[in-house]
Chain A
Amino acid sequence: MSAIEQQGVALGGLEQAELPVARANRRRRPTVRSVALRLLGGVLVAALLVFMVGPLVWLSLRAFSGLWQFPRLLPSTWTVQWWRSVFDDKSLAHSIKLSFEFAPIVTVLSAAICLPAAYAFSRLKFPGRFALLVSLFATNAFPKIGLYVSMAGVFYSLHLMGTFMGVVFVQLIGTIVFMTWIPTAAFSAIPRSLEEAARDAGAGPLRVFFRITFPLAAPGILVAMILSFLAAFDEAQGTFLVGIPNYITMPTEMYTLVLNYPEQAAAVFSILLAIPSVVLMSLVRKHVMGGKLAEGFQIR
């Protein structure tokens, strides 16, 4: 019997042992206290839902609303003119295109830089390993804008301000933590003996990496790539500072939209901005929660 099945059996036994107790509880009459607790729980969940979903609902209503005056719960007229105006506006369309250019490039570049580093962090012991790993968090430890302003100083002297590569570099900064930490954990979770067994069977180190290590770490790497893609896609401050006026991506365009357009256009735009996140996040969920990853590592 495999380890998973054994666990399952053990857990099953536990549930059965506890069943009589649960039944006894159910039979008891609900007390004032338990009703109050249930009620409180319900209210908390509802509040959380309103807090999280409320703005999204409002946003989607706003994007289709014509006339919407204060006391009314729903807009009095509906329209798609805001969508049309966003898609017709040349600069807005251009920023969408630009965003979808930057994010993949940054993600691939980040993978090329960080994956070898992640492999080294997980498989090699070298002095300063832990310090280096923790220092990757430094970019998240300070207010981002401070970091970007000082980067801007360096970028000026390197003539990177307002250039394509400048924007790529500044977006890269925000992806490094994801791209290093998650794959490091993924590589570390692969028992070394799996690699040794492949060496034993006649595969050289490179072949071992591509046939064994990489496929096993792939779910973790995929998650890291998606999070990096989103980090690059949503990055606004640094891109604004380095990219203007030549490179205006979707998040930086938001600044202009909020100031220059009616609210409804901004609502349309933020829905567009949310689409990749929603799509990619649901992909992550499917691949990571699917249990394939966990199952693979159950073999002892």
Chain B
Amino acid sequence: MTTEARPAGLLIDRVSKDLGGRTIVSDMRLEVHAGELTCLLGPSGCGKTTTLRMVGGFLQPDAGAILIDGSDVSRLAPEKRPTAMVFQNYALWPHMTVFKNVSFGLRLRKLPKREIRERVEHVLELVGLTHHIHSYPARISGGEQQRVALARALVLEPKVLLLDEPLSNLDAKLRVRVREDIREIQQRIGITTVFVTHDQDEALSISDRIAVMSGGKVEQYADPRTLYREPATHFVASFVGAMNFYSGTLAGGAFRLGGGASVPVESLEGHRDGEYEIGVRPEDVSVSANGGPGADALVLREIPRGHYKELVLRVGEEEMRAFVAPDLVAADRLHVRFARALLYRDGLLQPSEKPVAVS
């Protein structure tokens, strides 16, 4: 094989998997570049963990191939693969100390004692746990256990690091801190990483790219910004971030909702008039108290969110959510416009027919 044809990183090539008579992953293709952190994001049962387990070698794909740095590893046992996994429950061995846990793989490889000690100390330093080197897993906190699991995976210097919902057992504050630690370490050593999560916040904040999965397929594979600003499907739009969705008619720069209310839309010049589903992020709903162009809206509820305020509005017969400045004094009645909106038909994003500059 020629060297030029070998793409570095991980390639999941048209992989399918049935489990218990149900198709869990179907004809999935995903390419993760070397050094990139990709999140598999989706609701439970979408096939993200199954995909990860196939990459790790704990499941065999029914069809397709998994390539790491260009070589097919699909038929290799987990112990023969250049992958390392951080399990959801950490899977630390309770009868071994942190040192024994982390050094297990190195000891199997019969490395000299001194080298083992150096490498374990180095990786524990990386995750900031040198002081717990002789503790048993049951004696350290959940966040520390998590970092031991990460150290145990990293010490083997795998080509691909796999993380299976590694933060789901931590409390909310710790989760934010540990995910930043993981991202920081990942970037420092530049390791190709696949991170499984059902938390869109987590995915948006640490990924280079996110693959949103549903029903065993990748709905969209894009960087966080694109995923949020231009979700390719109705599913992605509603799964990532909050989104107001209405079906109605676009006509003359305004969108007519069910119940007859017509809301002006500012940035849809490139679209033909017609029937659509419209998706509007709450922060793209502009409200004004004193007249101006806009549809009438009734304020149902105000929810303080700290640095912003969430308004629950009624426009015609539809309910609408809007994020506004926290100091906005809301009258009972407001006018709403859509500063930015996305149009969908049959669940797919409808691209504008001519390029539009988005302000």
Contacts and interface: CB of A to CB of B under 8 A. Distances in A.
- Mutual binders A and B: yes
Given A2-B142, A299-B138, A299-B145, A199 B78 contact: yes
Interface stretch (B83-91, B256-264, B271-279): B83-91
A199 B84 CA distance: 10
Contact of A203 (B92, B108, B137): B108
A216 B140 CA distance: 19
Contacts of A216: 93-95
Interface in B82-119: 83-85, 87-95, 104-105, 108-109
A199 to B, nearest CB: 4
Nearest to A298: B138
Interface in B36-52: none
A296 B104 contact: no
Interface in B135-150: 137-142, 145
Interface stretch (A36-44, A81-89, A188-196): A188-196
Contacts, number: 86
B77 interface: yes
Which size class do A's interface residues fall under?
A: 20 to 34
Interface string A187-222: 000010110111111111001000110011000000
B94 A201 contact: no
Contact of B108 (A3, A201, A295): A201
Contacts of A202: 79, 105, 108-109, 156
A4 interface: yes
A200 B83 contact: yes
Interface string B181-193: 0000000000000
Contacts of A191: 89, 91
B78 A196 contact: yes
Nearest to B89: A300
Given A201-B104, A201-B105, A299-B137, A194 B93 contact: yes
A39 to B, nearest CB: 44
Given A198-B93, A296-B95, A300-B169, A1 B87 contact: no
A281 to B, nearest CB: 25
A1 B141 contact: yes
A297 interface: yes
Interface residues of B, number: 33
Contacts of A1: 141-142
Contacts of A211: 104
A224 B85 CA distance: 34
B308 interface: no
Contacts of B58: 196, 199
Given A1-B141, A207-B108, A299-B145, A200 B79 contact: yes
Contacts of B141: 1-2
B89 A201 contact: no
Most buried by B among A200, A295, A297, A298: A200
Contacts of B79: 199-204
B138 A199 contact: no
B56 interface: yes
B198 interface: no
A295 B56 contact: no
Ranked nearest first, the 9 interchain pairs of A and B with the lowest CB-CB distance are: A201-B105, A296-B94, A193-B91, A197-B91, A199-B78, A193-B87, A202-B79, A202-B108, A200-B85
11 contacts: A2-B142, A194-B91, A196-B85, A200-B78, A200-B79, A201-B104, A296-B138, A299-B92, A299-B138, A299-B145, A300-B169
Interface of B: 56-58, 77-79, 83-85, 87-95, 104-105, 108-109, 137-142, 145, 152-153, 156, 169
Given A193-B91, A201-B108, A295-B138, 17 more contacts: A1-B142, A2-B142, A196-B58, A196-B85, A197-B91, A197-B152, A199-B58, A200-B56, A200-B85, A201-B105, A201-B152, A202-B105, A203-B104, A203-B108, A296-B95, A297-B94, A299-B90
